[in-house]
Amino acid sequence: MFHGSITALITPFEGGKIAEKTFQEFVNWQVEQGSHGLVPCGTTGESPTLSHAEHRHVTEMCIDAVAKRVPVIAGAGSNSTEESVSLTKHAHQVGADAVLVVTPYYNKPTQEGLYRHFEAVAAAADIPVIIYNIPGRSVVNMSVETMARLAKIDNIVGVKDATADLTRPLMERQAIGDDFCLLSGEDGTALAYLANGGHGCISVTANIAPALCADVQTAWRDGDAKRALTLHDTLMPLHADLFAETSPGPVKYAAQILGLCSGELRLPMVEITEATKAKVQVALQASGLISEDVKQWRAAT
């Protein structure tokens, strides 16, 4: 079962192009810092602005750089079932360990439409499928009943839950059972999600604080709830302010400060405001990722 701190990877750009070397170095750093898994080509990776060729290439680069050290859960979501099926087949062919498939955005399918979409994706390849339920972005919310129905399909194995509704893991565990993988998609509630039966978090904050995010998850799994809470408290300013504007704008700015990659975004994403930059800098200081003199950047290890 997938568990722990799984990073929803940013995609570095330079001059409008994917910064390939930077990306692979970033992936390797993530593994070395203790991340328990990686997700390329999710929303945080600006997948809606990647061409199909770029999407496939980023997935392949991630798998290559990871070299089987941790699971790679490839983003394969689309509001087109045919496109999601194609991305799922590719992820399976190039060696991904699972795919993350978002509920179709903009179309606003019914619960039956959601069921048939995921049924088709699961039938496309013999690879574990994780449902990505994020009503704030997709404008549809998969019901617990639909998820339980989908969980009966052998290779639909879990959910990334970005509802911030902490009753969801309780209800899903009761409706489906303990074998269904429950992953939070909300950094701020990640620890509470674990307390309600979750197994881990697909994290934005882990892009810039992978060791700390992994330590929270490890502490919880080791039964050290006090340490987990202390670490979570340390990270909370980042969990809040990395969403002061639409993600991944703030986290890419933080990555730039830490010297991990440029803060470049693709339209319609634009550079964050000076006010948000100031918030991110303060959060980085509060979490111990940079010194008080913000000209002396350093990554925490």
With beta carbons less than 8 A apart as the criterion, state whether 99 and 91 touch.
yes
CB within 8 Å of 68: residues ≥ 6 apart:
none
Pairing of strands 4-8, 13-14: unpaired
201-223 b/e (C-beta count within 10 Å ≥ 16 → b): bbbbbbbbbbbbbbbbbbbbeee
77 DSSP β-pair partners:
none
DSSP 297: B
How many C-alpha atoms does 201 have within 13 Å on its Cβ side? 32
Structural contact between residues 279 and 244, judged by C-beta atoms closer than 8 angstroms: yes
Residue 17 designated active-site: no
**Residue tagged active-site, from 21, 106, 115, 160:** 160
Gyration radius of the chain over CA positions? 18
Taking residue 274's Cβ as centre, other Cβ atoms within 10 Å add up to 8
160: annotated active-site residue: yes
Residue 236 to residue 168: CA distance in whole angstroms: 22
> If we measure between CA atoms, which residue out of 126, 131, 120, 123 comes closest to residue 95?
126
The dihedral sign for the CA sequence 33, 249, 45, 159: positive
Of 146, 167, 165, 211, nearest in space to 5 by CA: 211
List the structure tokens of 108: 């606003």
Out of 132, 193, 277, 279, the active site residue is 132
Rounded distance between C-alpha atoms, residue 206 and residue 7, angstroms? 5
Report the catalytic residues: 132, 160
